[in-house]
Amino acid sequence: MLILMRLETNREDIERVKNKIISLNCTPHEIPGKSQLAIGITGPTDLLKKEDFLLLKAVEDVVRVTKKYKLVSRMMKNEDTIIDIDGEKIGGDELTIIAGPCSVEGRGELFDIAGQLKEMGLTFLRGGAYKPRSSPYAFQGMKEKGLDILQEVRKEFGLKIVTEVLNPRTLEAIVEVADVLQIGARNMQNFTLLEEAGATGKPILLKRGMAATVEDLLLSAEYIASTGNMNIILCERGIRTFETSTRNTLDLNSVPVIKKHSHLPIIVDPSHGVGIWDKVPAMAMASVAAGADGLMIEVHQNPEEAFSDGYQSLTPKQFGELLVKLKQLAPIVDKKLLLDKKK
């Protein structure tokens, strides 16, 4: 349920409505808009009646949100959410590029790639210290040592760090290093992790599960939002289908579908989406054309030697060539790719 407040609402009016919601065993969520404040209600809202609120001072209207997900839906909030990470915006008219290796592999390696990406004007670096691998015998990431390296690189280059959290046990340590917590495809429905990560208040990059529908993804985002953390970036990374010529099938339908139903920013990871490096640029361009707010791309200085996902990684040179094309494409979909603003 959503309560639309009158334009001239003051704090006292808002608190009165919130207290009423709490007295009915539900939870209020303030949703500021450009022109009007709204108060979302979650909990057992089926038991609420519109009349419970319509008579309260400063209440303009009461709307039932018919979708299963509430806080992340456009019905609750029509304006696009723009996430501000110390001045770096995700959503809105900027195209955000997150790039870096699949895994942190060593100090020298990460300093090298981070330096090259910084030189290209990037502001976000990806790299997993904890890796969710299909085989228990595959490289599992550098773990705590990887986090230390990420921290050093963050300080040295001022890049924003995007790194994956696999379970609540390592959350505290990862929060110290990460500017954005990545929750991977395999953990999209790990609801305990979603709630605990959400409660840190850190921005969260939530990747679509490989067998998850768009509605499942939005319901997982709702778990995070229900902790009071609306700094959620959705990520399409391909789903499993009968098609075997690529690692996954990049479901770009999800981009306009999500844009219609949710106010959250959505980015695309074409690297995992196709799994083969030479198809990554085409699908990166297609993602932007479909309306994505950004891209996450695996880049490695020597893909043949990469500890994980080398086959889908671009070299810095290939990535640089892609950036030139993305910059040209962005204005066609009313976006801008700012690559040199800090230089």
What residues does 99 pair with on adjacent strands? Answer: 125, 297
What residues does 32 pair with on adjacent strands? Answer: 37
Terminal Cα-to-Cα distance of the chain (whole angstroms): 46
Amino acid at 311: Y
Site for Mn ion in 90-119 (CB under 5 A): 102
Q: Which of 76, 102, 129, 150 binds ligand PEP (CB under 6 A)?
A: 102
- State the pairing for strand pair 88-90/96-100: unpaired
Structure tokens at 16: 């009165």
C-alpha–C-alpha distance, residues 86 and 97, integer Å: 16
C-alpha–C-alpha distance, residues 42 and 33, integer Å: 18
Q: How far is the CB of 88 from ligand PEP (least distance, A)?
A: 19
Point out which span in 165-173, 180-188, 215-223, 329-337 binds ligand PEP (CB under 6 A).
Answer: 180-188
185 binding partner (options Mn ion, ligand PEP, none; Cβ < 5 to 8 Å by kind): ligand PEP
26 binding partner (options Mn ion, ligand PEP, none; Cβ < 5 to 8 Å by kind): none
3-state secondary structure of 60: strand
Amino acid at 273: G
If the CB atoms of residues 184 and 198 are measured against ligand PEP, the closer one turns out to be 184
The answer to the question of residue 185 lying near ligand PEP (CB under 6 A) is: yes
Point out which span in 181-189, 191-199, 217-225, 282-290 binds ligand PEP (CB under 6 A).
Answer: 181-189
3-state secondary structure of 64: coil
Q: Which residue is nearest to Mn ion (CB)?
A: 102
Q: Which of 70, 77, 202, 272 binds ligand PEP (CB under 6 A)?
A: 272
| Closest C-alpha among 122, 115, 159, 180 to residue 326 | 122
Q: Which of 40, 100, 128, 294 binds ligand PEP (CB under 6 A)?
A: 128
Q: How far is the CB of 185 from Mn ion (least distance, A)?
A: 10
3-state secondary structure of 103: strand
If the CB atoms of residues 143 and 186 are measured against ligand PEP, the closer one turns out to be 186
Structure tokens at 63: 């709307």
Output helix, strand, coil percentages for the chain, rounded to the nearest 5: 40, 20, 40
C-alpha–C-alpha distance, residues 322 and 7, integer Å: 46
Point out which span in 74-82, 183-191, 284-292, 322-330 binds ligand PEP (CB under 6 A).
Answer: 183-191
If the CB atoms of residues 85 and 267 are measured against ligand PEP, the closer one turns out to be 267
Q: Which of 92, 121, 132, 310 binds ligand PEP (CB under 6 A)?
A: 132
What residues does 98 pair with on adjacent strands? Answer: 124, 296
Check if the beta carbon of residue 136 is closer than 8 Å to that of residue 307: no
Per rule CB under 6 A, count of chain residues that contact ligand PEP: 9
If the CB atoms of residues 184 and 203 are measured against ligand PEP, the closer one turns out to be 184
If the CB atoms of residues 2 and 99 are measured against Mn ion, the closer one turns out to be 99
If the CB atoms of residues 110 and 219 are measured against Mn ion, the closer one turns out to be 110
6 binding partner (options ligand PEP, Mn ion, none; Cβ < 5 to 8 Å by kind): none
Q: Rule CB under 6 A: which residues touch ligand PEP? A: 102, 128, 132, 184-186, 207, 237, 272
